[in-house]
Structure 1
Amino acid sequence: MSAASTVKLILLLLINLELIGALSKHPLLLIVSFDGFRHDFFTKLATPGLNSFKSNGTHAPYVRNVFPTKTFPNHHSIATGLFPESHGVLGNEVYDPTLKKVLEFGSEMYNTQGITPIWTLNQLAARDRYSGVMMWPGGGFSYRGIVPKFHYAWNMNVSWERRVDLVMDWFSHSSTPANLVMLYFEEPDTTAHAFGPESAQVDNIATYVRQRLTNKNLLDKVNVVLLSDHGMATVTPQRIFNLSQYVDKAFFQIVDSSPVLQIRPSKGKQTIVYNTLKTASRTANFSIYQSNELPQRWHYGQSPRTPPLLAVADTGYAFQDLIEWYQKLNRTLTSNTTLGLHGYDNSEHCMRPFFIASGPLVKSGHRIQPFDTVDYYTLFSTILGVTPEPNNGTFANVRDLLKNPPSIT
């Protein structure tokens, strides 16, 4: 063999080692969330990248997500297997009675004490297990004293391709390769809010993910789960109303945003606020609940953070704050404006997200029955080969998508 041929062979070996030699010895799992991608967008939008994963894997017609059908509660239920009343993220904002303040995105909202997200569970299972969290809501905080080995904070200015490139590097890191990566994209949610769900366009990032997995020699090694947190409904200005038209706004405080408002009446005003809004709800398009009246199926009423009153708009309707939000975008609201909104009752068909999985542990060309968002935690734990913490999920609901599932005891 010539010197040139020897050098070429050595280079090929080094490249191969770079691609596969640094991989974790543990099962590999990539979880990708497309915020606001409704389960039926496949019939409305061109999705060749997603379809490539779908045809080579397993999918469900839809997933039953948690109430409220908003980003923060659902992403945390995906990560923990817990209902919002258990993990405490009841909305994109919450009032904490112990701290006596409204919490927005931050470690206090995520109630990190005693909660074990899947990325934490993975790292607790062995010293050579490493998790990566790319912009996943709630992913950058310390749970049980542990932070993900790799973490990239939320920054929508980072291109989608750059995010994918970074997480691929996490899988093939030379000394601490990740075996679990959570990857978040804010679309089609961001576009759909401003222009309505029918106008939302999904980037070809799924195609890019598949290309990068192929280029890294990872396509047949990484189990990939593509999912969403919620769907989207259409709202027009004619369907927006203000609760203060029924009761004096000085009598209550509103936490969070349409279509689910946490209402905290002023001292001594709860009865009048509730009775007035209850009367109004008989003819207006919303419902009002006291904490002890909340539907049990929402799994929302048993948290210390559960508000005294909860106002929920009917699907396709919204409260005044939606107009205020739109105006902050420096857009002019007209009678022809179409907006997108989510958060409604999780039994609503338009609120349901999608699910696709593929990879070495997943059946190909297979379809399973709809399951619950809280079941993801049991699925992720099984794929990773770790024992889940107590959760609200049911492994039997997702067992059939695996090629060689463990028995159910």
Structure 2
Amino acid sequence: MKPNIIISKPSCVSKGTIQLTGSKSECNRALVIEALSKGKVKVDNVSDAADAVLLAGILRKPKVESSKSEVFNGLELTTQDLRVVNIGPAGTAMRFLTAYFTLQDEEVILTGSERMKQRPIGVLVDALQVLGADISYEENEGFPPLKIAGNIQQKTGRISIKGNISSQYITALLLIAPNLPLGLELEIEGDLTSRPYVEMTLAMLQQAGIQHNWADNVISIAKQDFKETSIWVEPDWSAASYWYAIAALSDEADIFLPGLTSYSLQGDSVITEIMANFGITSQFKDGGVHLTREPKPIVRKIFDLKSCPDLAQTVIVVCAALGHEATFTGLETLKIKETDRIAALQNELAKIGVKLIEKGQVYKLDCSEKQIPQRVLFNTYEDHRMAMAFAPLAIIIPEVEFEDANVVEKSYPAFWTDLEKVGFVGKMKGER
């Protein structure tokens, strides 16, 4: 069973130095590049996030022929004939490996957790099938698990994909493009969601010697070789966002995050601009960023989070805690994440009397009945970001309990320990 954790914050002052793990987004891309480069590219500062550790284990594990049996779907399989790769709840790994395995000299079953089997992958599979990949569904059409045959027989070099779906589909295709016999021309239909993540992918490929051309809505990558290089993974700006939230809800804050730069590839570095609206100053010096807080009236009413959906829970919870009735757009992808993050936010914000009202693709906070209880239990929905986005509320709520404390291991294993460095007090409730 999964232990709960209870946290509190006796002081409203938050001061300390927090060394964040490497970016999960950068690390996952770098690991795939390393694998596709056949040893030419090395990755430094690999993230200790569970997703990255799992992906590294799969990609860096040498292929070993074995007669060991595995059970899948009630059938006994022999790994000598068919390898079963279970990525658990790691959505990024599912998308990236779906494309990666079409290039490998083996046939695999790619599966995951029960929630992963509910997360759509049809858009990516359709695109790969157009290219010539041999992929089939083992259970439900459009969803994992997948049976993937390697050695793609490429039929065309040009495909199109909708831009308003997960950018990870696009990244998965771009990562394998240099190794495709015909290269790739990828046409993006409509507006591109999470554009910074696509730009991150292209920038990291360029670090590894892969050139591209992006003209209008078409990204072109010719077949080409990787160069010998090392990719250093920057600390995680998504993880940094929780420290910005803590600073925003504290009466006084002075937090130093080493290793973060003002010229990051990570789209979530926009948190510096977003949190400036809440009086948080980001000063880049001493090899990192210093966060300080000054009282400031909040003027901004509309937040477009299309380019940074992983910040949505953080920003929405901060607004709710401060009673700021903001409006949010660009949340289209939140319903297909680790959980339906819109429904999860609505359920948990209701516990402090705040409503997140959905009108089409626009979401508005109603804080008219906001209350601060003495104690509250927040559910996490097997979603790491639900736990970390709501944790700063312990600054204003005397006692906050979270189910499944270990859920944070997906991206930030040291989260609860790091909270103690700025004055939070945490205790495990025990097994449930």
TM-score range (shorter-chain normalised) is under 0.3
Query: TM-score, normalised to structure 2's length?
Result: 0.22
Name the one with the larger strand percent.
Answer: 2
Greater RCO (Cα-Cα under 8 Å, separation 6 or more): 1
